[in-house]
Amino acid sequence: MDEPILIVDDDVNLNRLLAKFLERNGFPSATAYSAEEAIKILSSQKFRIVLTDLRLPHKDGLELLQWISGHDSGCRTVLMTNYADVQTAVKAMKLGAADYIAKPIIPDDLLKKIQDLADNAGRHGQSLGAETGPEPAPPASPGKKMLGQAFVDKGFIRGTSQAAVQLEQHIRLVAPTPITVLISGESGTGKEYIARLIHNSSKQSQGPFVAVDCGSIPQDLAGSELFGHKKGSFTGAVADKNGFFQQAEGGTLFFDEIENLPYSVQIHLLRALQEKRIRPVGAEKDIETHVRIIAATNEDIPSLCAKGSFRADLYHRLNEFLIQAVPLRERKEDIPLFSRKFLENANEELEKEIPVLGLEPEVLAIFMQYDWPGNIRELLYTVKRACLLCQGQYVKLEDLPPELQRSAAGTGTRQASTGMGTPATLHAAATDAESGPTVSLPNLQARISLAEEEKNRILACLRQCNYNKTKAARLLDIDRKTLYNKLRSYGIE
């Protein structure tokens, strides 16, 4: 097909991924980010297929479809929609759409639709604009691993928020490609789960998944840890050793907290990424490597590049495609789903003779109000702890950790009736919990006392670890980001 495909979507990452995916499969592509921009492009260039989102700024995909039908009968339109229902499909077909596809997009299904349109035109010796009629999408093969199922199978819960839908869509598209992925997000947002999901849905899924904590690699041994070494190459090298690259051969190598990788090693990693070759310490020859690289960070790497603590060329090489792990406070509609699944897992893990069935309405209200600085990880541990302490069938306020109980006291959350309650009851509990702060003097004094106790505990751990923050965080059983936040809040230098 000589004429390209025009992809119209206001999601920049999705446009970029779809274009790369189609081009890799022999379909040259161009992109537009609104219906208005698409119309300008279509007015000056010929396209055989337009792949457009239904929801676009200002004009929607159906309006664009109408314009195309009136101006270029040879152009076929495929509609992408999160709202894939019979009414939308029928309306799109009446307006001249060749087909539609539901988001999150499964790359193989999209490719099949595009190929069918191209093959149909070729078989009948007609342009793609000829009236061929849409073909229904083929049913998924029973043996085909669907990404949605992988979310559940591998412990990553499929959320229902817009952020969760977009995340799944990006993973579906990037997983089958060789593109290097950078996952950015706060601690506890599930960056390693995302990396594992990409691996499990990729062509490297039969190979190993090797996770590397860059913050724990000793600087003087970083080269050996990454690339391996030969016997006798340095004091203590009593035998040949395979590094992380060799261990991950044929699979995926995941660099967690990539910003902590020693600067002196970053150039060697850049070379390995660019040339697909590594050289073990003490070796005379390079060896080829076939490894998919995924990195994660909870820092603003561009600012680190500006400060000179991270190589800009490595950052751009890692950032072929960025996935943003959204904090839990920005996707609170997923909290009930996560809580329910975590509770099911906790019942099984803790072997509860009488399983905990759910959360009291006031507990759910507290969960929906709380900011969750530790994100999904904090919610997981909170639910597991509550399940362990719960003596009845429903988690109560007293089963929650002190910080959530203090949150409830500070926001004036009122107690609700026992049991999960009706949706109206839960809504009322959540609404009641939104009344303004009513902190009593005893509660305020208790909060100050607990804060002082926490500050002293942090100082004691820092002294014990000779002020090594990474070790202190481990000793305190929190991540380093949380420790840094607490240090700032307590004014500890």
Highest mean pLDDT among 163-167, 173-177, 232-236, 405-409: 173-177
Cα distance between residue 287 and residue 274, in whole Å: 14
- CATH assignment, 151-326: 3.40.50.300
Q: What is the CATH number of domain 5-123?
A: 3.40.50.2300
* Among 83-87, 145-149, 156-160, 322-326, the least confident range: 145-149
Alpha-helical regions (H) of 334-412: 335-349, 361-369, 375-389, 402-411
Beta bridge partners of 52: 8, 79
What pLDDT score was predicted for residue 450? 54
Q: Tell me the per-residue pLDDT of 344-400, one tens digit each, with 9 for 90 and over.
A: 889 999 998 888 988 998 899 999 999 999 999 999 999 999 999 999 889 999 999
Domain 329-432 CATH class label: mainly alpha
Q: Is the pLDDT of residue 132 over 70?
A: no
Topology agreement, domain 5-123 and domain 151-326: yes
pLDDT digits 0-9 by tens, 193-226: 999 999 998 988 999 999 998 888 877 788 888 8
Kindly report which listed range (89-103, 236-250, 457-471) carries the lowest average pLDDT score: 89-103
Region 14-36: what's the mean pLDDT?
88
Scored b (16 or more CB within 10 A) or e, 465-485 reads: beeeebbbbbbbebbbbbbee
pLDDT at position 419 is 36
What pLDDT does residue 416 have?
38
Give pLDDT, residue 280: 86
How many residues are recorded in the chain?
493
* pLDDT higher than threshold 60 for residue 140: no
For residues 123 and 485, the model is more confident at 485
Q: Is the pLDDT of residue 170 over 80?
A: yes
Fold of 441-489: Arc Repressor Mutant, subunit A (1.10.10)
Could you tell me the pTM of the whole model?
0.59
Give the residue extent of every domain in the chain.
5-123, 151-326, 329-432, 441-489
Residues 6+ apart with CB under 8 A from 167: 159, 194, 323, 325, 326
